[in-house]
Amino acid sequence: MATTNDLKNGMVLNIDGQLWSIVEFQHVKPGKGPAFVRTKMKNVESGKVVDKTFNAGTKVETATVDKRTMQYLYNDGTSYVFMDTTTFEQTEVSPEVMGDTTGFLLENQEAVVATNEGRVLFVELPASVELVVQHTDPGLQGDRSSGGTKPATLETGKEIQVPLFIVTGEKIKVDTRDASYLGRVKA
């Protein structure tokens, strides 16, 4: 248990049996009336974001979330298998929990796996990853109808937009949060 005065970004609360991560919070002390805490919270499982207001000093139940750096091993067809790099214990993660992160995941890549009471909540990839362009059409210099970008398929099978000068076989840096091109990787 904690009070609303102890809230921090990233803290996970257990409200009515559901886990909510605090995205942002603000202590408000109006000139008239009691102080309160305005929060924006994200449901850990569904991803739904809601605004909730608590009276200052109200007790809230915190959830213990264990975040561990794990190595992605393989996809066995039904789930993604990760290995704890310290205990060598393997954890299976369902495709529903993985979501869009699978488009940036290569074997032997490290990721943070968050669990609560043995149940996997989410998988957090690094902010950017380096991937090889598997296929992209040649960019024509006069082609500006698409704003100077073209589609490219990465080695994971994910398709993103890249500048016209990128060629097949080139290694690029990609932002895992919004699938945007960040730059070339020097060899």
**Residue 98 C-beta-side C-alpha neighbours within 13 Å:** 18
Q: What pLDDT is recorded for position 134?
A: 92
Q: What pLDDT is recorded for position 147?
A: 65
Distance (Å) of CA 144 to CA 5, 62, 147, 152, 172? 53, 52, 5, 16, 22
Q: What is the CATH number of the domain that holds 27?
A: 2.30.30.30
Q: What pLDDT is recorded for position 103?
A: 87
CA-closest candidate to residue 83, choices 124, 115, 121, 111 = 111
Domain shared by 117 and 139, yes or no? no
Instruction: Write out the two tokens for 91.
Output: 């954890």
Choose one of 124, 141, 170: the last residue of a domain: 124
Could you tell me if 126 and 176 are in contact, meaning their C-beta atoms sit under 8 angstroms apart?
yes
Choose one of 81, 99, 124: the last residue of a domain: 124
Q: What is the CATH number of the domain that holds 132?
A: 2.40.50.140
Choose one of 99, 124, 149: the last residue of a domain: 124
Q: What pLDDT is recorded for position 144?
A: 60
Q: What pLDDT is recorded for position 150?
A: 86
Low-confidence ranges of the chain (pLDDT < 70): 140-147, 187
Q: What pLDDT is recorded for position 174?
A: 93
Q: What pLDDT is recorded for position 143?
A: 56
Domain shared by 137 and 89, yes or no? no
Which pTM value belongs to this model? Answer: 0.72
Q: Which domain holds residue 28?
A: 2-60
Domain shared by 27 and 71, yes or no? no
Q: What pLDDT is recorded for position 145?
A: 58
**Residue 177 C-beta-side C-alpha neighbours within 13 Å:** 4
Measure the CA–CA gap between 122 and 116, rounded to whole angstroms. Answer: 10
Give the number of domains in the chain. 3
Domain shared by 144 and 115, yes or no? no
Cβ atoms within 10 Å of 180's Cβ, excluding its own: 13
